[in-house]
Chain A
Amino acid sequence: MTENIPTNGFSRRRFLELGFGAAAASALSACGGGKSAEDVAGGGTTSDKKFTGEYDGPKVTLSYWNGFTGGDGPFMDQLVKDFMTENPKIAVKQNTVEWAQYYQRMPAAVTAGKGPDVGVMHMDQLATNAVRKIIVPLDDLTESIGLTEDDFTPEVWNAGIFQDARYGLPLDVHSLGMYYNEDQFSQAGVEEAPTDEESLMAALDKLQEVNPQPFWMPSRWPAHLMFLSLLWQNGGEPYDAENSKATFDSDAGVQALTWMTEVISKGYSPKNVAQDSQYVAFKNSKVSVTWDGIWQINDLKAAKLPFALAPVPQIGSTSAVWANSHNFYLTKQAAEDDNKLQAAKVFIDWIIKKSADWAGAGMVPAAKSVRESSGVQDTTQAPIAAQIEAMKFLPPVPGLGDVTAQTFEIAVADAILGKRSPAEALKDAAGKGSQLMEANKQKFGA
């Protein structure tokens, strides 16, 4: 629905990211490794047949779900079409659902046996869906495709593992980036994209002559992703390693959020920036700098804006940026039919190998070989791709996404809107977060 609407970012990605932020939360704790429902790993058994990369069974129809409703949609459509031409025995029926609804609908549909056989979801949703036994392990696929940790960065690779089994194969990574208006930069005499706090502030001061308020601070999405990036840059973690306590109210967190509110109090941003206003304003050249997801590239290109993309500047002591990843999964539905299972594996294998085309959708391919290929080096997001080591992901903990949505997303909004002080807002939210995490542990049997 969003493709032709100028507010593309709003409808598609924002919604996406909301679900996603929720989702993202779960991915964040990824490094902690899965610690939930004990019996999950055995949940869906994949087939015993060895995967050969070829499908030789009877004709089969795969149901394939994803949430690529925006500028990335046409690229996936093309990939699916090409796949079917090359593999006439496998028909792929695509169903594209907005991400925000995706994570509500998909589990319901799979439970009812009318869901996807294969699909794409955000990395931070894998654990939640694994513990619910919606998706099944695909370790054998990993082996046969011949992918290893070396092909990815450890963070992306390990986040797909939950309770010793792999549930997701990464297609891409996408992070927050800094978009800036090139015309306004040259008008203001800023020659290079800022890389740290000092250069950012200097640039903003100069930019104020062109745009009195050059860097609008959003109160909602992607505000919490900016917060997470800054929190990590300050050496903090949103959740503790045992995933039983919310720690985003640490000094690192308070500093991060304070920095964000100071962008407003120092006059670089107006107050009360509502959902998506900063993005719409950026598209209309009323804002010179904005931090947003790299998947907005195509939307901004379509708007004919003279923009460029740079990594998020390092404000804190280390470089870090929030990121997430689209992962392929197989459902328990596919696991019940051996032909479908084989066909689905062939499909995943094929698409991941073609993920250079997917870079056209604004994403950074997850596989190193593809990422470093020339096709990707020429894209707008190339500077981001180079920064893949700095990308931080939310840990794969079941239900953590809901915790994020209910806690620091709201705390960040409260502080940005000037309703409460950063410290107070975060402390309250962290208390609530810890309670919710305890409840989740019980529910999912950690």
Chain B
Amino acid sequence: MATSAPGRPAAGDATRVDEEALGLGDTSREPTSRTRGDTRAAYLFLGPYLVLFIAFVIAPAVYGFWISLHDYDYTLPGKPWVGLNNYQKLIDSDSVTFENFWNSMKATAIFTLASVPLLLVLPLLVALIMNARFRGRNFFRAVYFAPYVLGVAVVAVLWRFLLDANIGLINQYAGAIGLPDDTAWLTDTPAAWVGLVGVTVWWTLGFNAVIYLAGLQDISVELYEAAKVDGANRWQSFWNVTMPGLRPVLAFVTMVTIIASANMFGQSYLMTKGAPGTETRTAIYYIADTGLRNFQMGDAAAMSYVLTLLLMLLSVGVFWLFRERNE
């Protein structure tokens, strides 16, 4: 879905993409007038990707569903069929997995709700500044993008020590300027959420900012000039020119950010280990533990499907929100 998002998310999207791929240009004509040859050429061009898509997305997804219907441990000879039992366990409050799973879903939800708004707004502000003309702009751009090139392990280990309640620099400095110096950034909620969200924002802000920046540079200067002529102030021109111009980009950034946040794993795995207790253990973290560490692949696959389903519903919601409105 991410690949099609920057285009137009409206209903006619698919045909448009086809024609663009074929270089047919004028998309305003009725698409029905195309000849058979066109369709075949289209399939020819789409074919290679389709093969990859089927081999690496569709097939594993179907296989994963198959796994989710078994008590599946690949090292054991018997992988008994259990039907929907793995799914039932997720809605049966007496099962061991029920509480763990929904707690981890809750952790994911908290993280997503807290991080997505910040990751939508802050990078936009940064992008607006980056888009202005001033000395040292390239340096500024690089500085904001720099953390993104680091791997999650580097980021997490770095911050795990900076944020440590007893030996960390953050508390040390906070104490030095008279703030509380015993905040448990890694072992207590809500402080741990502040830590995890803060680190994630610091780390990935640059990526969203660069996408926004590209979007901003796409907005024609004439539109701003026209707005100026009409007497729009800066706020009005931002709201009526910049924002509509950014809408496709915004839809893309929103989707990608939600999915990335909902898939958060490394930060809590490395920084908090899910502490306190399992409060910051996210869904992916729990799924990985269940499937890869405990070898309960059937359970893990079922959980993945539930998570996927919820994310799909969420995506539909986001697309609906950013749909092209005819005013």
Q: Give A416's nearest chain B residue, CB to CB.
A: B187
A286 touches B276 (CB 8 A): no
Partner of A414, one of B73, B272, B277: B277
Stretch at the interface among A136-144, A255-263, A275-283: A275-283
Partner of A104, one of B73, B182, B278, B293: B293
- Complex Cα spacing A281 to B77, Å: 47
Is A220 positioned at the interface, with any CB of B under 8 Å from its CB?
yes
Is A364 positioned at the interface, with any CB of B under 8 Å from its CB?
no
Is A267 positioned at the interface, with any CB of B under 8 Å from its CB?
no
Within 8 A of B (CB), among A81-138: 103-104, 107-108, 111, 131-134
What B residues does A272 contact at CB under 8 A?
Answer: 165-166, 182, 184, 186-188
- Complex Cα spacing A414 to B293, Å: 22
Question: Which applies to chain B's interface (DSSP): helix, strand, loop or mixed?
Answer: loop
What A residues does B138 contact at CB under 8 A?
Answer: none
Question: Which of A274, A284, A435, A439 has the most chain B CB atoms inside 10 A of its CB?
Answer: A274
What A residues does B76 contact at CB under 8 A?
Answer: 131-132, 443-444
Q: Could you tell me how many residues of chain B have their Cβ less than 8 Å away from some Cβ of chain A?
A: 30
Is A270 positioned at the interface, with any CB of B under 8 Å from its CB?
yes
What B residues does A103 contact at CB under 8 A?
Answer: 293
Is A432 positioned at the interface, with any CB of B under 8 Å from its CB?
yes
What B residues does A133 contact at CB under 8 A?
Answer: 75, 77
Cβ-Cβ contact count across A and B, 8 Å cutoff: 92
What A residues does B277 contact at CB under 8 A?
Answer: 410, 413-414, 417, 419
What A residues does B81 contact at CB under 8 A?
Answer: none
B186 touches A413 (CB 8 A): no
- Complex Cα spacing A402 to B100, Å: 14
What A residues does B75 contact at CB under 8 A?
Answer: 107, 111, 132-134
A402 touches B167 (CB 8 A): no
1/0 per position for B74-114, CB-CB distance to A under 8 A?
11110000000000000000001000100000000000000
B276 touches A419 (CB 8 A): yes
A274 touches B187 (CB 8 A): yes
CB distance from B94 to the nearest CB of A (A): 9
Q: Give A11's nearest chain B residue, CB to CB.
A: B157
A277 touches B167 (CB 8 A): yes
Is A193 positioned at the interface, with any CB of B under 8 Å from its CB?
no
- Complex Cα spacing A60 to B71, Å: 39
Q: Give A399's nearest chain B residue, CB to CB.
A: B294
What A residues does B275 contact at CB under 8 A?
Answer: 219-220, 274-275, 413, 417
Partner of B74, one of A108, A277, A284: A108
Given A402-B293, A417-B187, A270:B165 Cβ within 8 A: yes
Q: Give A409's nearest chain B residue, CB to CB.
A: B273
B187 touches A443 (CB 8 A): no
1/0 per position for B46-61, CB-CB distance to A under 8 A?
0000000000000000
A220 touches B188 (CB 8 A): no
Q: Could you tell me how many residues of chain A have their Cβ less than 8 Å away from some Cβ of chain B?
A: 41
Partner of A270, one of B157, B166, B186, B292: B166
- Complex Cα spacing A108 to B164, Å: 36
CB distance from B124 to the nearest CB of A (A): 34
Within 8 A of B (CB), among A151-170: none
Within 8 A of B (CB), among A390-410: 399, 402, 405-406, 410
Is B70 positioned at the interface, with any CB of A under 8 Å from its CB?
no
B73 touches A443 (CB 8 A): yes
Partner of B165, one of A7, A274, A432: A274
- Complex Cα spacing A108 to B297, Å: 13
A443 touches B167 (CB 8 A): no
Q: Give B293's nearest chain A residue, CB to CB.
A: A104
B164 touches A277 (CB 8 A): yes
Q: Give A269's nearest chain B residue, CB to CB.
A: B166
B294 touches A219 (CB 8 A): no
CB distance from A121 to the nearest CB of B (A): 14
CB distance from A442 to the nearest CB of B (A): 9
What A residues does B188 contact at CB under 8 A?
Answer: 272, 417
Is A246 positioned at the interface, with any CB of B under 8 Å from its CB?
no
- Complex Cα spacing A134 to B76, Å: 9
- Complex Cα spacing A272 to B278, Å: 15
Within 8 A of A (CB), among B185-243: 186-188
- Complex Cα spacing A280 to B182, Å: 18
CB distance from A131 to the nearest CB of B (A): 8
A271 touches B96 (CB 8 A): no
Is A273 positioned at the interface, with any CB of B under 8 Å from its CB?
yes
Q: Give A435's nearest chain B residue, CB to CB.
A: B96
Q: Give A107's nearest chain B residue, CB to CB.
A: B75
A220 touches B273 (CB 8 A): yes
B160 touches A275 (CB 8 A): yes
Is A436 positioned at the interface, with any CB of B under 8 Å from its CB?
yes
Within 8 A of B (CB), among A419-446: 419, 432, 435-436, 439, 443-444
A432 touches B184 (CB 8 A): no
What A residues does B96 contact at CB under 8 A?
Answer: 432, 435-436, 439
A216 touches B166 (CB 8 A): yes
A281 touches B293 (CB 8 A): no
- Complex Cα spacing A194 to B165, Å: 28
Within 8 A of A (CB), among B276-292: 276-278, 292
What B residues does A277 contact at CB under 8 A?
Answer: 164-167
What A residues does B186 contact at CB under 8 A?
Answer: 272, 274-275
Partner of A280, one of B167, B278, B294: B167
- Complex Cα spacing A284 to B293, Å: 34
What B residues does A443 contact at CB under 8 A?
Answer: 71, 73, 76
Known: A219-B187, A273-B187, A274-B272. 8 other contacts (CB 8 A): A7-B157, A22-B293, A131-B76, A132-B76, A270-B182, A273-B165, A277-B166, A443-B73
A-B contact pairs, 26 of them (CB 8 A): A104-B292, A131-B76, A132-B73, A132-B75, A134-B75, A219-B276, A270-B166, A270-B182, A272-B165, A272-B187, A272-B188, A273-B166, A274-B184, A274-B272, A275-B186, A275-B273, A275-B275, A277-B164, A277-B167, A281-B166, A286-B167, A414-B276, A417-B275, A417-B277, A419-B277, A436-B96
Task: Report which A residues bind B (CB closer than 8 A).
Answer: 7, 19, 22, 103-104, 107-108, 111, 131-134, 216, 219-220, 270-275, 277, 280-281, 284, 286, 399, 402, 405-406, 410, 413-414, 417, 419, 432, 435-436, 439, 443-444
Task: Report which B residues bind A (CB closer than 8 A).
Answer: 71, 73-77, 96, 100, 157, 160-161, 164-167, 182, 184, 186-188, 272-273, 275-278, 292-295
> 8 closest Cβ contacts across the A-B interface?
A272-B184, A132-B75, A274-B186, A272-B165, A402-B294, A272-B187, A414-B277, A417-B276
